[in-house]
Structure 1
Amino acid sequence: MLNSIRKLFRRTVASKRDEFQALFAQAPFGVVMVDPQIGVMFSVNGHFAKLMGTSEAHLRDVPWATVACSVSPSGETDAHGFTHPISAADARVHRLLRADDVQVFVEVSALATFPDRQGHAVCVLMVKDISEQVLAEEQLRVSEQRLRLLTDSARDVVWTMSPLGQATYVSPAVLQLRGITPSEAMAQTIDETLTPDSRDAVIRYFFEVATAVQQGVTPPQFRSELEYWRRDGSKFWTEVLAFPVMGANGALVEILGVTRDISQRRLYEDSLLEAREMAEKSNAAKTEFLAHISHEIRTPMTAILSLTELVLNTPLSESQQSLLNKSKSAGRLLLGIINDILDLSKLDNGKLELANAPFDVNDVLQQVSDLVSETCAIKGLRYDVEMAQDVCPYRIGDSQRLAQALLNLVGNAVKFTEQGHVRVWVRRLSDPGQAEQLRFEVQDTGIGLAPALRAKVFEGFVQGDNAQTRAHGGTGLGLSICKRLAQQMGGDVGVTSQEGQGSTFWFTVQMPVGPSVPSAHLKSASAQTKEMPRQVQGVHILLVEDNLSMQGVLKQLLELAGARVDLAENGQVAIQMIDDVRYDLVLMDMQMPILGGLDATQIIRQKPAHQDLPIVALTARGFIEDRDRCAEAGMNDYLMKPFEYKDLIAVLQRNIPSWSVEA
């Protein structure tokens, strides 16, 4: 019986040994049998031999310590290797030296320990190649060290924050930035870190991140300027950029951020803002000063020009008419200088608005010709105008500003030319059907320009330095205004000149082709003169004006046109008179004592009976905002001083109801 049991046991053991040998040979990892007492390998499988780059036979009876070194978690090696007894709990990372001197990293663990046939203990080791994993971990460690070195040496503060808003890392630059250590920064609350407004901005961002995570979408980045606290209680501005770091499962791992000190930039921006505000205040003061000067000059200028107009309509000798015409021309010249200064101020402040209406370029050319023809005749200059045949004269734009720019060039040419000619050419620069550019050229045979002056002739207040140039007078603003007008109309300016032989000034404007319009010069001047006075015959007008000279002059002009005129010296008196008398139209000065024209108009418009009463502003201020204020107050039209008789009649024609005029 006992012999039977022994035979069965031997067969079972032999069977298990055969199974083990098969597993040993076919295992997908290295298997090594080691004598744990002396650390010698007495059997290895093919996978381990391949890992070591040699044959199984070469590895038999080789001490384990000659091919392997244990690696501690800190990366240090253990020189003892497996020279000490091994238990089944052993599992270590080893560095193996292959036959070709290449190192590989393996994870070694004891699978089992059992006795051999002679009863000696045998340790079976499982050897897994983890070289790629170790290499990846090493690269990650180096990368982290490199990143930490960069963040530790960067001037910007690099930080990380947990999903709960707790700081997990702050770079050493925080000491320079805020005067606190990284550990102190990580221990601070958000209230100790940021000012209230900045704190609220960060809290809002965390809510956005939390909402995005809940919805399964990528949270947004954060970029903002935040105000931090320093240790000493002072505040400073930073630019903060933050990125949410997401895990593979879509969960928020952390928030990585960079904080940069921008306090110097903010100081610079604040100084720029302060300088801009000061410049705006300065411009406003300049505008107000110019408006005041404009009022003080235009009011008496209106009286001078209007009185001259009245006297010219009386019987005069030829000598008297000549003297009065010269006086009128001098007044217009002074008015032109005032307008130049005001226009320059408007252009500087960006307040010059351009009209956008259809017009005929021929009318502009004729208007300029009318203004310079007399001077050309007196000086004996030939004045020619030529428009290329391919130029369509019908355009859309601001005809008055176009005429102003052209008149500046033509006026200068006539002024600085003593003999010869002045020629005006109009050419087309772009293809038909597009928003075409027109080029206006003015050629003269005058004194020309020195090379040094040509480079700066379009700057403001620039004139020639020689006595001949100074003898012609002027403010030096005309060409500067011409340049800015051309640029505002989509073009530019330029000049070619030779000293002593004349100049050619040019400017371009961009104006689309428009519909045909009737020429403004089809109606004769005599016909206009006959019609204008009749248009206000019998009309009852209230003139509200505090200046006694203006009262007298305007009253005579209006009565010359056939109107009946009542006078009021301020807005308060005007309101009472309007309540008592039915007027066809009110001429209202804007600037008066007791009650000005704007306030008076607003009060008048509040009364239902006066909603449709035409009120025309009389003003010596020449700015766009004044016209806007008049419209907002309820005025129907706007007449700027000084004005000529025809301008006064024209504004009356536009605003007097047809039923108010006597047949």
Structure 2
Amino acid sequence: MHAPGDNEQALLKNDIHIQATYRLTEALVASEKKMRRRIELLSEIVFETDWEGRLTFLNQVWYAALGWELNGSLGSLLASFAISEDQPILQRALGFAGDTCGRPEVRFQRRDGGIVSMELSVAALEEGGAVGTLHDVTQQRAAQAELAKLSLVASFTDNLVVIADRQGRVEWVNDAFIRKTGYSSAEVVGRKPGELLQGPKSDPVTIATIRQLLHEGRSFQCEILNYTKSREKYWVAVHISPIFDAKGEVERYVSIQTDITELRRTQYDLKAAKEAAESASDAKTQFLATISHEMRTPLNVILGSVELVHAELTPVEFPAYLKRIDDNAETLLRLISDLLDVSKIEAGQFEWERIAFPLRPHISQALASVAERAAAKGLSFQVDIASGLPERIFGDPARLRQIVMNLAENAVKFTDAGFVAVALAEDFALPGQARFRITVTDSGAGISAASLPYVFDRFFQGDGSTTRRKGGAGLGLAIVKCLVDALGGKVEVESTRGSGARFDVLMPLDPDTTIEPAVPSPALASTPQAPRGIRILVAEDHDSNYAILERHLTNNGYSVRRAENGRLAVEFADLDRYDLILMDLEMPEMDGLEATRLIRLHEEQAGRPKSPIIALTAHALMGYREKCLQSGCTGYLAKPVRKDLLLATVAAALAASPEPGLPG
């Protein structure tokens, strides 16, 4: 029998035990509720099964993901919710729970008939059964499939293709990208393209725009300068488009880049060419205005002097005005010659020759007229040809004369007081290369630093005030530069404004070591009187031109007959034999070339000796002389024809012809 105190103590202990158990139970319940709340907050399905694989627990994500009611699902086999093909995979995973079974992917049937791919993670329970999670990977797999599809398509294009995640980090690049940039796939995956491809010349405004539009999830296009791995610059036209997931959120970006480096270069070249063309057009407009002035000025003097000769001048005044006509005609002819030279240079039709000629007399004769103009301005004109230069050289005497005269005339034109000096000397700057130097120095106005780089440009004349004061077409120095370059030399200029100018021409020196007697030029020698009875047929449709030719020839003892066109020239040549025929090439009814061919044909058919035929033409481009010779002409004279050259050419042709003056 227990004492009363023992019973009370036992009851107290029992009560304490009950309270402790109650509190523990409450704690367990609270802990379980807390755990369940946490489980409900997960984005994955959490499940528990018994040893048969029947569901004993599911969180609310089950319903959200698959649409099946929780109460209706509990007690059912988990495998029954998988599609039939994947049920064995799920059952094996539950059977091997806790062992190494990986994270298999199982497709589940949604209540609405859709299919959802779930990644399974499972662990065994001690009391039997299993607990695990199902992670929805449907969108991930769809995205991977889309990426694979995009990658397949992109791999066959020459465009550079980059696929990046929503943060802009590269997931994939195609082979074209790898070839162009020099980066391997491993080097770019996980990096942002700008970290590798952009450099100091990439436009920061474009870069900022790209970042802003990526942040906003918008499609856009732009052009940007990028850099390869070796830091070579290239231009791309970029088109970036976002790809959205089922929720409408950006999932990744696809960037298609077209290499437009060559297009950019072409655009730059076209822009430069356009600007150059516009500049050239402006220069030519100014040039044409200047040329118009330069041509009209001597024409005005010529026409005005002719009117005075006709109207009111006394015989005593005739010589002075005729001299003005002659001087201005020479000025006009020189201007036209310069224009033709520029035309021939631009067309690549300049004619060159290489003959031996005496250097000193040639230069002295070329500078004689320039010395007269210098004296008229009160300038000291000095010419120094070094004694060490050879007496005769090989080259093109006409072009050398043109170079020296253009430089000297330019110096005289721009020098109002002081001197102009021309010097020729050997140049020994380069061992083993024989050269001579032409130096033209003056004390004139000089050339400004801004104009100095352009003095040899065609149509460039400096400021307009100089052009108005000094005149000229601005072609002389441009022609010098072209001629010197073509002859294998070089020309340089030194000048400062107000301190005169110095032009240096370096030319190859090719001495002629043979000794030949000096022979006067036929054009400069005294014109011999023709033997009486020499008959010349002049085919010329222009009355004034014929009148001048007829006067020059008859004054020198020749008998002249005129044919007003090519048809008459052929007819007259058939009826009678002429010792020489002067054939204008541009005539009505039949031109000179056709007439020459017919005359040669008729001479051959009749067995007659060939009469010399000298072509008269205003054509000055290369190739026309050859056309004349191919048609049967024996000589060629370019208009305007000077008297001395005309008579010398006629005399030379007659001398080479058998038995002039005898009837055929």
TM normalised by structure 1 equals 0.52
One-letter code aligned to 2:552: L
Distance 1:326 1:520 in 2: 34
Aligned to 1:541: 536
Maintained 8 Å contact 1:536/1:561 = no
One-letter code aligned to 1:561: N
Structure 1 pair 548–536 and aligned structure 2 pair: CA distance change class (3 A): farther
Deviation at 1:574, TM superposition (A): 0.5
The CA deviation string for residues 540-592 of structure 1, in whole angstroms up to 9 with x for no partner, is: 11100010111111100111121111100111100110011111111000111
Matched, 1:528 2:525: yes
Distance 1:576 1:396 in 2: 46
- The partner residue of 1:598 within 593, 598, 602 is 593
Maintained 8 Å contact 1:433/1:513 = no
Deviation at 1:487, TM superposition (A): 0.2
Maintained 8 Å contact 1:536/1:652 = no
Structure 1 pair 150–416 and aligned structure 2 pair: CA distance change class (3 A): farther
Deviation at 1:435, TM superposition (A): 6.1
DSSP 3-state at the match of 2:459 = coil
DSSP 3-state at the match of 1:483 = helix
- The partner residue of 2:551 within 556, 562, 568 is 556
Deviation at 1:377, TM superposition (A): 2.4
Distance 1:486 1:475 in 2: 20
Aligned to 2:582: 587
Alignment of 1:425-436 (within 5 A): 425-430=423-428, 436=434
Aligned to 2:400: 402
Deviation at 1:432, TM superposition (A): 11
Structure 1 pair 334–509 and aligned structure 2 pair: CA distance change class (3 A): same
Structure 1 pair 483–450 and aligned structure 2 pair: CA distance change class (3 A): same
Deviation at 1:438, TM superposition (A): 1.9
Maintained 8 Å contact 1:571/1:592 = yes
One-letter code aligned to 2:457: E
Matched, 1:364 2:362: yes
Distance 1:585 1:523 in 2: 22
Structure 1 pair 536–629 and aligned structure 2 pair: CA distance change class (3 A): farther
Deviation at 1:500, TM superposition (A): 2.2
Distance 2:520 2:609 in 1: 37
Deviation at 1:624, TM superposition (A): 1.1
DSSP 3-state at the match of 1:344 = helix
Aligned to 2:388: 390
Distance 2:571 2:154 in 1: 82
Distance 2:583 2:332 in 1: 25
Maintained 8 Å contact 1:533/1:562 = no
Distance 1:375 1:651 in 2: 30
Distance 2:540 2:430 in 1: 52
Distance 1:511 1:653 in 2: 35
* Greater Cα offset, 343-352 or 604-613: 604-613
Distance 1:173 1:383 in 2: 74
One-letter code aligned to 1:639: L
One-letter code aligned to 2:408: V
Structure 1 pair 628–173 and aligned structure 2 pair: CA distance change class (3 A): farther
The CA deviation string for residues 516-554 of structure 1, in whole angstroms up to 9 with x for no partner, is: 5658686899x933xx14146542111000101111111
Distance 2:500 2:531 in 1: 50
One-letter code aligned to 1:547: H
Deviation at 1:156, TM superposition (A): 6.2
Maintained 8 Å contact 1:486/1:509 = yes
Alignment of 1:124-523 (within 5 A): 153=155, 155=157, 319-430=317-428, 436-465=434-463, 467-516=465-514
Structure 1 pair 620–524 and aligned structure 2 pair: CA distance change class (3 A): closer
Maintained 8 Å contact 2:535/2:580 = yes
The CA deviation string for residues 337-371 of structure 1, in whole angstroms up to 9 with x for no partner, is: 10111100111111102101111211321222222
5+ residue gaps, structure 2:
1-150, 160-173, 177-258, 278-283
Maintained 8 Å contact 1:363/1:519 = no
One-letter code aligned to 1:336: R
Distance 1:434 1:536 in 2: 55
Distance 2:504 2:532 in 1: 47
Structure 1 pair 441–475 and aligned structure 2 pair: CA distance change class (3 A): same
Deviation at 1:436, TM superposition (A): 2.6
TM normalised by structure 2 equals 0.51
Distance 2:391 2:397 in 1: 12
One-letter code aligned to 1:378: A
Distance 2:579 2:555 in 1: 17
Aligned to 2:24: none
DSSP 3-state at the match of 1:631 = helix
Distance 1:363 1:638 in 2: 26
One-letter code aligned to 1:580: L
Deviation at 1:320, TM superposition (A): 2.4
Deviation at 1:416, TM superposition (A): 1.7
5+ residue gaps, structure 1:
1-148, 158-171, 175-260, 280-285
Aligned to 2:565: 570
DSSP 3-state at the match of 1:605 = helix
Maintained 8 Å contact 1:413/1:442 = yes
Deviation at 1:404, TM superposition (A): 0.6
Distance 1:519 1:497 in 2: 42
Matched, 1:615 2:621: no
Maintained 8 Å contact 1:627/1:638 = yes
Distance 1:150 1:587 in 2: 82
Structure 1 pair 155–356 and aligned structure 2 pair: CA distance change class (3 A): farther
DSSP 3-state at the match of 1:451 = coil
One-letter code aligned to 1:340: D
One-letter code aligned to 2:574: D
Q: Which has the larger radius of gyration?
A: 2
DSSP 3-state at the match of 1:617 = strand
One-letter code aligned to 1:493: V
Structure 1 pair 379–612 and aligned structure 2 pair: CA distance change class (3 A): same
DSSP 3-state at the match of 1:624 = coil
Distance 2:316 2:393 in 1: 42
Maintained 8 Å contact 2:379/2:418 = yes
Maintained 8 Å contact 1:382/1:422 = yes
Distance 2:547 2:619 in 1: 21
Aligned to 1:243: none
Distance 2:532 2:333 in 1: 30
Deviation at 1:627, TM superposition (A): 1.2
Distance 1:418 1:633 in 2: 51
Distance 1:499 1:395 in 2: 37
Structure 1 pair 150–441 and aligned structure 2 pair: CA distance change class (3 A): farther
Deviation at 1:485, TM superposition (A): 0.3
Structure 1 pair 580–424 and aligned structure 2 pair: CA distance change class (3 A): same
DSSP 3-state at the match of 1:460 = coil
The CA deviation string for residues 221-248 of structure 1, in whole angstroms up to 9 with x for no partner, is: xxxxxxxxxxxxxxxxxxxxxxxxxxxx
DSSP 3-state at the match of 1:438 = strand
